[in-house]
Structure 1
Amino acid sequence: MTQQNKTVWWALALPLLAVLIWSLNITVTRYVVDYISPVSISFYRWLVAFLVLTPFMSVKVWRERQLVVQHWKQLAVLAAFGMVLYQGLGYTAAHYTTATNMGIINAFIPIFTIFVSMLMLKDIPNRFAVVGSLLSFMGLLYVMAQGNLLNLVQSGGHLGDVMMVLAVFFYAFYGVFLKKWQLKIPLMISLYVQIIFALLYHLPFVLWLGLDAINPQNVGSVLYAGIFPSLIAPLVWMLAVQMIGPNRTSIFMNLMPVFTAIIANIWLAEAWTVYHSLGGVIILLGIVLAQKKDGAVKVVKLNV
């Protein structure tokens, strides 16, 4: 085997590791609901990430302070959507739904991104994106209705699933904002400043609702959330994008429902049912179809 082939296989392991870390974090989020409030773990998560990064990033941020000041409004918006709305709703949703459902709904990010891009960037999706999106949405409704769409009509769906859908919708905005602005700022500086904004956004909620104490039952979950999904997974993911490209990397996100379901089954004894299987397959088929390129129809911009 050549050195080039070795590098390729090693690079393919990077997105797998990132998705595994994020999938485990979904299960951790569900596990810790009885031991710490959503606002507490969300605040502590970014506090841990801030404390870990500060020794390495504070001097660099000061050196690039003019660049940070230039883009502070965009960084503030990114922090609001990606770190506060998405993560906060996710922690709250864990009180009302299963980790398995959260993993399935999280895989819906590419579909929502297509429509947010249409709204904000005026990108017209091709026919595959439209059909794939509709197919995935049907699969999502099927999972939320637990295999019986009549249940969805009668009960209005589970609150946790609805909140998770809303969280994923906000994260789609986060991705589109990144694409729209394409900030010329180092990634680590961007991440560090966003974390600072996230902590500031949490302060009103902390003052109003208070913070739960760190104790032996929740400290492991807090440290995991603050280090692995907040710092290590994004770095590994960005490295994978650089080595194998964004398109090949993004495909690995489709494994999140599978990883989450396996972890939740082993750790939380959550059942993987027939409606999870059918709905999950429909969602993944729709996502794959939505990413297919249409050779005959080019993506164009709307003139407004």
Structure 2
Amino acid sequence: MWWAVCLPILAVLIWSLNIAVTRYVTDYISPVSISFYRWMVAFIILTPLMLPKVWKQRQLIQQHLGQFAVLSAFGMVLYQGLAYTAAHYTSATNMGIINAFIPVFTIFVSMLILKEIPNRFAVIGSFISFFGLLYVIGQGNFSNLAQLGGHWGDLLMVLAVFFYAFYGVFLKKWQLKVPLLISLYVQVGFTLIYHLPFVFYLGIDPINQDNVASVLYAGVFPSLVAPLLWMVAVQYLGPNRTSIFMNLMPIFTAIIAYFWLHEAWTVFHTIGGVVILIGIAMAQKKSNSVKNGT
């Protein structure tokens, strides 16, 4: 159904725009502040709808509190917090390209946690993607990689993506029998708790006319609307077909950053991005023995 195909495209567009918003708002609010406000907005919106359901399902939720705490730490605090920090030191275009590296990291985290041995396509594709990633970070010259201080934002974003891979693998490992919206709500609650020490220690910037639109966008669209669109798409298209649309994120992000943030799209972005996507496509290819079930 054509409308089902539109759902993941719209979700990826929302997430891509959020990367640009993250880069844009660096001059107006600190990483801790926008991260805390983002999840507070999402929590306030969800509470009237979800609190009665959480109370009814409290015994089920209590059984998985530890798992919710871990998911929140990796998927919302570490990933998003590092991404907001990385935005101060790198471009939205680079962030979008590095974000496409999640499937490759997921392969190796799955090997570590789920004991899933990757096939030869996954290994070769991962190396190809990693080569493309280094090419982008080095801005087309591998000798530039020696200057680590100049790539601090890119390295933070790589670390953020690495942590998000843990989030996806833990979801697969545990397969919690909890309604998705309840799961999201509880994780957001843990995220706010995790932020409190940082808020007390570093302080928090006030919301003003310069950052309010960015805060509201981050709290509503990438936090609530996009995940819902993605979940519905998975139901109609299946997880494998839906995940393919994630490869649009570097493209969408680059286009938005070019027209809104006036970031340059260079030759090394094109070459590195293409190499990364080729590697990801190869890494997700199944060997004949896997297809035949032997």
Seq. identity, %: 75
Q: Give the conservation status (yes or no) of the 8 Å contact 1:126–1:299.
A: no
* Change over 3 Å in CA distance of 1:207–1:130 after alignment to 2: same
* Change over 3 Å in CA distance of 1:228–1:245 after alignment to 2: same
Q: Unpaired segments of 5 or more residues in structure 1?
A: 1-7
Matching residue of 1:50: 43
Q: Unpaired segments of 5 or more residues in structure 2?
A: none
2:226 to 202, 225, 233: 233
| Runs of 4+ with deviation above 3 angstroms | 154-157, 297-300
Matching residue of 2:128: 135
Paired amino acid for 1:93? A
1:292 to 281, 285, 288: 285
1:96 to 44, 68, 89: 89
Residue deviations 1:130-159, cap 9 Å, x none?
Answer: 110000000000000000000112446500
Matching residue of 2:276: 283
How much does 1:54 deviate?
0.4
Q: Give the conservation status (yes or no) of the 8 Å contact 1:100–1:260.
A: yes
1:192 to 185, 188, 193: 185
Provide the rounded CA distance (Å) in 2 between the counterparts of 1:142 and 1:292.
23
2:207 to 207, 214, 227: 214
How much does 1:37 deviate?
0.2
Matching residue of 1:67: 60
Paired amino acid for 1:130? V
Matching residue of 2:112: 119
Q: Does 1:174 align with 2:172?
A: no
Provide the rounded CA distance (Å) in 2 between the counterparts of 1:173 and 1:258.
24
Provide the rounded CA distance (Å) in 2 between the counterparts of 1:123 and 1:281.
27
Matching residue of 1:4: none
Count of equivalent residues: 293
Residue deviations 1:193-236, cap 9 Å, x none?
Answer: 00000000000000001110000000000000000000000000
Provide the rounded CA distance (Å) in 1 between the counterparts of 2:262 and 2:2.
33
Q: Alpha carbon RMSD of aligned pairs, Å? A: 1.2
Matching residue of 2:254: 261
TM-score (norm 1): 0.95
SS in 2 for 1:296: helix
How much does 1:298 deviate?
7.0
2:176 to 183, 203, 206: 183
TM-score (norm 2): 0.98
